[in-house]
Chains A and B, each alone.
Chain A
Amino acid sequence: MKPPAIVLTAPGTNRQNDAAFALEQAGAAPVCVDLLDLPGRRGEIERAKLIVIAGGFSYGDALGSGRVFALEAERLLGDLLPEKVSQGTPILGVCNGFQMLVRSGMLPGALQHNERGHFECRWVTLQPSSQLCVWTRGLEEPLRCPVAHGEGRYAAGTAVLEQLRSEDRVAFRYAADDYPANPNGSAEAIAGVCDSTGLVLGMMPHPENHVTERQGRAMVTVRKQGHALPLFRNGVVAALAS
């Protein structure tokens, strides 16, 4: 059976179809639910086995990236997302979804303006590095996929960074520490982190934009190199296990 998946959006989200396509390719059955559709469609989220919070510019990021998304999600969903995690549901926040998870306190740290001061879109190489995170567990090969954001510089206090390292919660690092490999100046080249359960992953790059060979063909030197579909397959495996 294909696990039911929710792609959660808010007005201004724009990569929901990309995320839904990736989930389909990975064997899930995704539907998009917008905060505007709540509370009517709350039941679908309650029944979901997997949740992706998609990228874009929710509410225009008018008060800072992901802030209004987080406030509205809290107002409309209450504690539903943390409850889903306690039930074992894997959650992936990509880009604006990561920003939303950080703003809502489900992931530690902050996502600040890129060091260069503006939006940046380019392909990056990601080294998966967490065995705790259900999404990256078992991934060894580097992933190739694009970033597309203006506020993606991961920042956290030294204590938090130390804790993330010691608890195996740094899910992805950019291939190198300097620009452009690390496109936004993130601390310790961190591209993605997970929560203490390993179920909730937030990442700035867009793995959903490299799930077919053609999407990456011009960006790799070896066929199928850096394909990001295994990440979504991992999510589906974890969804089925929950």
Chain B
Amino acid sequence: MKDTPLSTSGPSFTKVIKPCGAHRDRALTRQARQLGFAVVSLKASDIFFLRGETDTANLRLIVPRLLDDAQGEATRLEVGTATVPAGRLVIEVARRAGVTDRVATQLAESAARSGCCIEAATGSRFEMTGGSELPEKDLHFLVHNLLCNPVIETWSFGEVQPGFTSAPAAESSAVEIVPLCGRTPEALARINNDRALALDPEEMEAVAQYFTAEGRDPTDAELETIAQTWSDHCSHKTFAARIETEQGEVAPLLRQLRETTRAMKAPFVISAFDGNAGIVAFADGLRLAIKAETHNHPSAIEPFGGANTGVGGVIRDVLAAPARPVALTDILCFGPRELDHHDLPEGVLHPAVIEEGVVEGVADYGNKMGVPTVAGAVLYDAGYTANPLVFCGCVGEVLRGYDKLSGPQPGDRVVVVGGATGRDGIRGATFSSMTMDATTGEVAGASVQIGDPIIERLVADLLVELLDRPDPLVRALTDCGAGGLSSAVGELGEATGVSVDLTAVDRKYAGLQPWEVWLSEAQERMVLAVPPGQAAAVLERARHLGLSACDIGEFTGDRRLLVRHGAKPVVDLPMEFLHKGRPVRRLRAVLPSPDRRPDTKLREADISHALLALLSHPNIASKEAIIHRYDHEVLGATVIRPMAGSAQSGPSDGTVIAPPQRRSGFALGIGVNARYGLYDPEYMAHAVVDEAMRNVTVSGADPAQTALLDNFSWGDPRRPETLGDLVATVRGCCAAAQLYGAPFVSGKDSLNNEYVASDGTRRSIPPTLVITALAHVPEADRSIGTALRAAGHALVLTGRTTREFGGSHFNLVTGEESGTVPAPDPSAPARYRRIHALMREGLVESAHDVSEGGLAVTLAEMVIGGRLGVEATLGEPDECSALFSESLGRLVLEVREENIPRVLQSLGDEAAVIGGVVADYHLRLGTHRWDGAALERAWRGDA
């Protein structure tokens, strides 16, 4: 740096270019190759745009101090325009103004601490070799998939213009009046469409009627508030709808789930389907909050930011419980990685690009929050290409102040803490309730938020300080999620009424319209109801941590939502209309009629090849490349990890978390199988509940102390067949919950996961139900993993195997279509309880469930995890079924010889010794034999 002459690029700013280093160049070049551009190689640099007091003396002070890595690989900083070597294409990228940018913020802050007052913006610079020969279309594809996301960045060949956020703009107080009264249905439909309100025609009609009766037209903010509050995302109008089927009307879906839980009267359920998260209380004073959310549409158009804020959002749900977050889950569904980019629908990012961004987004938020990401699943299907699914879950330990939360009282202050408000993520709730098409990325730009996990880390610390005490300083709280302040303040003040002044809201920058402040989904914000006497203390504590904190109004008592901008009225609506005025949705469903006739077909296959094909199928193959990017160890409470065995070589079923100070803990298990949903949605529900139950049971949890969480990701419910699948799935969920005695405590639906291609064809995702089981582990020291422990032990298979191949992975790898989806196993719950009792006695060494790919895959995974061998015989009903059928309710237990009688006595005729563990690293099943190393290569995807 010292030898580089300082010059400025253009009159208005200085540009500092810092090479990212070989690790980044390698990764980019590898990704380009993955996308089919083997000729391209890339070199990346960070760009820092500086303006303000950027004279030479100041730059000499701050650049080495804040940007140069004296001993790092990136020692050569260039200030000013970098020279471009011949034959290379230069692409520069700049983050758009207003998009959250922690680096720029920190740079300006640290420079100020060093005595230099500057503004900062960031960008990237790429030098590409081999790119100039590419057709322009391919080049643009590469830029948009790998180098720049136009949703949050701008780019150009050569020099780019930076996006300084602090563009001075006059504060606007403009409030637009939207003429609704007396409009025709067609005119209303146009307004609905133009403003992206995503309301049903009946709902637009109800809004128009309300304002007609009031004798005035709504403001822009009022209309947006109603649209957000009434969105499927916020009000679950499909799950609350009246549904007609050919067999008569069915009860609203949410009511079915709630009633199922209520009827079970499980003593450990503290709060179900109420507030931000479900709450359970297990023995040993362990009270937990759990929630899972989806962030599908944002992740489709900006994978990193979408997934990042998905994690941030669900953590805030748990913070609002209020609870201290202690574990995260992620279930991800992507299109096939190897898809040819010419086959991509228009405007859609490549699945491999989406996967990379999503994984990095999940990792970034969880790792920086310091909450371990411990459980999840990854599925691949062409149906997810245009509409990936990102489910993010969080478990928290309930804070002591929970029992004292009384709800807001008239006179309480409305306090917003966390990040400041900017123009990011506007209209997320309505966006998520719409179908996507080729232009979604362009028009929904403002719907994507960028997170700042460090701010949320501090928000969590603040809430623990305010609420983890017998006398909390807060009477109620909720997070700012979809709909921003409009939803959060509207919900919190529903019972009392609330009045706020938008000029009091802390802003990131000037120039926001009142409705933008009200609707912004800027991240990391919570709304608190604080008794007037405590408000000063709460604001002081928040500011001490460096958080934004503002008192924006009070809870009233008039049951109205009153929003002003200074003296100017922005929203004035009765809570009754806002929360109860939405007409009940009426929908029609055509129920599926799955084929459940007994399967008489005897299958033959190349057994040896089939197992290797199953192990290398992306749904079954090792997820270690993803898992190891998540911190699953922070907090020191992880007992059973997502990878099994002392070499972390095998897959785990469930995971167990128990703080080292406690004897007990909890287990998390995930069930998901969208393939079954294509054939038999009701049985899919049974199957995935069963899988989640088995996952927690084999880890050492008590199946009788288990709560469930449902997450539905579906297509457009206004199509009767799609809704019919959903109705059948909910029926299966309720029946399975009753069967296993495991109540649902919370859930979430994400509908309209569809993409309309430019030729008008619709692509819907496969019906995808994710079940999360949260279970008590009474003795964490007794929890076990899936990896084999020692040679000489016996293997016991429990549960019954029948010929069930519908939706199986055996069918997937062999191209078969026939068969029925595995049927529910009514005897499974009792069996799981007996197995738990055996585990409490220490009689089981390791255990693994039988799921996708059947028993052969289960045993292969136990072999890989333990790096030991298995020799087993094949049982009923035939070789192929014994190996690959996916019948429910089955587990393999590793048992010491001396404990076999005790185990068999307990499990009766539902268990049989099928073989044993040997020292040599291989798998022998009947006459078939595989080398351990060969199994491992197939499963790990090593060449």
On A, residues with C-beta under 8 Å from B are 11-12, 14-15, 17-18, 21, 36, 56-57, 59-60, 62-64, 67-68, 71-72, 75, 109-110, 112-123, 146, 148, 155-156, 206, 208-209, 211-212, 214-215, 217-221
Contacts and interface: CB of A to CB of B under 8 A. Distances in A.
Contact of B635 (A18, A110, A121): A18
B636 to A, nearest CB: 4
6 contacts: A17-B635, A60-B106, A121-B633, A214-B660, A215-B638, A219-B646
A67 B74 CA distance: 15
A121 B631 contact: yes
B641 interface: yes
Contacts of A56: 368, 370
Contact of A218 (B629, B635, B640): B640
Contacts of B153: none
A121 B328 CA distance: 15
A72 B904 CA distance: 64
B73 A67 contact: no
Given A12-B368, A14-B634, A118 B629 contact: yes
Contact of B367 (A148, A206, A208): A148
Given A112-B73, A113-B21, A118 B66 contact: no
A214 B781 contact: yes
A60 B102 contact: yes
Contacts of A115: 23
Contact of A112 (B72, B639, B660): B72
A21 B636 contact: yes
B370 A15 contact: yes
B633 A156 contact: no
A214 B780 contact: yes
B458 interface: yes
B443 interface: no
Contacts of A119: 363, 367, 629, 631
Contacts of B628: 120-122
B629 A21 contact: no
A63 B781 contact: no
The 6 A-B residue pairs whose C-beta atoms are closest, nearest first, are A14-B370, A110-B71, A62-B106, A117-B23, A146-B633, A117-B27
A56 B369 CA distance: 8
Contact of A63 (B67, B630, B639): B67
Interface in B696-718: none
A148 B374 CA distance: 14
A146 B299 CA distance: 30
Nearest to A160: B71
Nearest to B642: A121
B454 A11 contact: yes
A21 B659 CA distance: 11
Contact of B646 (A17, A62, A206, A220): A220
Contact of B641 (A59, A114, A214, A218): A218
Given A116-B23, A118-B363, 8 more contacts: A12-B454, A15-B634, A21-B636, A60-B368, A71-B66, A72-B113, A146-B633, A214-B781
B368 A221 contact: no
B457 A11 contact: yes
Given A206-B633, A215-B636, A221 B458 contact: no
A230 B64 CA distance: 40
A61 to B, nearest CB: 8
B203 interface: no
A128 to B, nearest CB: 20
B107 A63 contact: yes
Interface centre among B113, B544, B636, by most A CB within 10 Å? B636
Contacts of A209: 633-634, 636
A21 B643 CA distance: 25
Interface in B111-164: 113
A68 B644 CA distance: 37
Interface of B: 21, 23-24, 26-27, 65-67, 69-73, 102-103, 105-107, 110, 113, 360, 363, 367-370, 452-454, 457-458, 544-546, 628-636, 638-641, 643-646, 648, 658, 660-661, 780-781, 785
Contacts of A71: 65-66, 110, 113
B646 A218 contact: yes
A63 B368 CA distance: 15
Interface centre among B70, B363, B368, B628, by most A CB within 10 Å? B628
A57 B454 contact: yes
Nearest to B30: A117
Given A14-B634, A117-B23, A57 B368 contact: yes
A64 B69 contact: yes
B659 to A, nearest CB: 9
A148 B631 contact: yes
Nearest to B103: A62
Given A14-B370, A36-B546, A218-B785, A114 B457 contact: no
Nearest to B635: A18
Contact of B453 (A60, A121, A208): A60
A63 B106 contact: yes
Contacts of A15: 370, 634
Contacts of B23: 112-117
Contacts of A220: 646
A214 B662 CA distance: 11
A18 to B, nearest CB: 4
Nearest to A184: B23
Contacts of A109: 71
B457 A121 contact: no
A116 B658 CA distance: 31
A12 B102 contact: no
A75 B363 contact: no
A123 B642 CA distance: 12
B102 to A, nearest CB: 5
Nearest to B665: A214
Contacts of A17: 635-636
Contacts of A114: 23
A114 B454 CA distance: 22
A121 B635 CA distance: 13
Given A63-B66, A209-B633, A215-B636, A75 B113 contact: yes
A32 to B, nearest CB: 11
Contact of B24 (A36, A72, A117, A214): A117
A21 B21 contact: no
B239 to A, nearest CB: 36
Given A14-B457, A118-B360, A215 B107 contact: no
